[in-house]
Structure 1
Amino acid sequence: MPLLSADPAAFPADPPADTHDPAVTAAHDWAAFRALDEMTDHWARPGWADGSRAYYWMLTFPDDERLAALAGHCQEELAPLGLDPVPTDGLHITLARVGTPGTVTLSQLGGLALDAEDLLPSAFSIHAMPLAGSRGAVRLSLGPWEPLLWLHHELAEAGSGVGLAPKKPTSVFRPHLSIAYNNRRRPAAPVVEAVSRLRARPAVELSVSAVQLVELRREGRTYRWDVRKNVPLG
């Protein structure tokens, strides 16, 4: 697997010193978030207007009550900031973009899922928490990163085999789980301060036994999706 590399478009731009230690990746996330002067509008993304659709590899957690409770508590505490909360049945980890319905055929999707099934690593668990953020979102740190990086790498390998290699290589992947999106330009300090008061919440363990190939769509200021393929790990 390629080593992580610096990328000004990623957040954090520089990779953490150790992807095996959750404490290191969480501290790295927090240091990058605390250093922000300004937050940007998450929804002001070129080519991703309301109604846009695209195929993505994601990890979804529709039945994880502990994750929903953690996100819900944090969202309630952050409500005065006017962020756009992620619905509890919409919590996800984005892995890789595959393409758009206009450029990717159903046959290609099927071939991608079959190739991925032969490559994917074994099931694993990660922890979500503590809370941090990025330029456009408040999000949970994840750890350890290593199994997520391996998963991303194998999905990229599967994509390359059917002409659907992701635009962003594993070297610039920064795993995270957003709970609320920022919807305007604003000073970062008030958001950082509010998030800092929620960082002591207990972590939630997430079991990852399958990866979802979804058709993601933007509906106003939220994301929804339909699962096209559910591919088991290992």
Structure 2
Amino acid sequence: MTPELDVSPEAFPHRPPPDLDSPDLLVDHDWRAFTTVECMKNHWARPGWPEGFRAYYWMLTFPDASELMSRARQCQDALAHLGMDRVPSDGLHVTMPRVGSTDLVSRDQLRLLADLAQEMALTAFEIAAHPMAGSRGAVRFTLAPWSPLIRLHAALSELGKHANVPGGKPTAAFRPHLGVQYSNRECPAAPVIESVARLRTLEPVPLKISSVELVELWRTTDPSPAYRWRVVRSVPLCPQG
């Protein structure tokens, strides 16, 4: 059973979509929310990331997804005039539950968390990355369907409770997405929305989700602002069926 999502002022979009599985409705819901944004924010100015901060997260990563990387570069090239910070090809990811900052989570807790995930025998699934929408601080792919992502988020969050880690936002506020570039300043959103609209006819990219990664995540500014990580444990997902 898929957990229900709630209205959340911290999430974007604030309201969950009317359907968690229909690609058309998910794409439309993300786009409609993006068109209401009036001002782009500086993604890197968000609170909670002081200098030198590192944290453990669960993430989906795509080191071998050449089609996704190619489509992301295509979109980034088309939006280069906006002056945003590109997500590197090897930095494409979907953020899942936060585990906690590195100074609050022990190695024993990490080991227990990863072991619990492996024992849980979570199931692999397929989604697609649909060009293109955005938020107040980024331009991003819409993912569809949401249901398997939400179930995975909820399962990993529950494991975090058993491992007694700090955790992060609840699954009810989870809004799956895959960023391709981050806004690095405050500016009117209208030119961004207009440019992104030209990419919405591109075909979606299929993605097979066969593992979930427990990572140590940090920010870097060399050679440009980006998220980087090291994989603590890659947990394979059970084949479908």
Scaled by the length of structure 1, what TM-score is found?
0.97
CA distance in 2, matches of 1:211, 1:231: 5
Q: Tell me, which stretches of 5 or more residues in structure 1 are unaligned?
A: none
Q: Is the 8 A contact 2:100 2:168 kept in 1?
A: no
- Could you list the per-position Cα deviations for residues 173-227 of structure 1 after superposition, in whole angstroms to 9, with x for gaps in the alignment? 0000000000011110000000000111111001101000000010021111000
What's 1:231 paired with? Answer: 235
Runs of 4+ aligned structure 1 residues displaced above 4 Å come to: none
CA distance in 2, matches of 1:120, 1:202: 32
CA 1:229 to 1:190, structure 2 compared with 1: closer, same or farther past 3 Å? same
Q: Is the 8 A contact 2:43 2:183 kept in 1?
A: yes
CA distance in 2, matches of 1:118, 1:22: 31
What's 2:136 paired with? Answer: 135
2:71 equivalent to 1:70? yes
2:53 equivalent to 1:52? yes
Q: Is the 8 A contact 2:104 2:166 kept in 1?
A: no
Q: SS state of the match for residue 215, structure 1?
A: strand
CA 1:3 to 1:17, structure 2 compared with 1: closer, same or farther past 3 Å? same
Deviates more, 1:163-172 or 1:37-46: 163-172
Deviation at 1:167, TM superposition (A): 2.4
2:7 equivalent to 1:6? yes
What's 1:36 paired with? Answer: 37
Q: Is the 8 A contact 1:120 1:155 kept in 2?
A: no
Q: SS state of the match for residue 69, structure 1?
A: helix
What's 1:156 paired with? Answer: 157
Q: Is the 8 A contact 1:38 1:135 kept in 2?
A: yes
What's 1:222 paired with? Answer: 226
Q: Is the 8 A contact 2:3 2:151 kept in 1?
A: no
What's 1:99 paired with? Answer: 100
Please tell me the root mean square deviation across aligned C-alpha atoms, in Å.
1.1
Deviation at 1:101, TM superposition (A): 1.3
Q: Is the 8 A contact 2:216 2:232 kept in 1?
A: yes
Q: Count matched residues.
A: 234
Deviation at 1:120, TM superposition (A): 4.7
CA distance in 2, matches of 1:232, 1:63: 15
Scaled by the length of structure 2, what TM-score is found?
0.95
Deviates more, 1:77-86 or 1:159-168: 159-168
CA distance in 2, matches of 1:50, 1:232: 33
CA distance in 1, matches of 2:141, 2:49: 23
**Equivalent residues in 2 for 1:77-226, closer than 5 Å:** 77-164=78-165, 166-220=167-221, 221-226=225-230
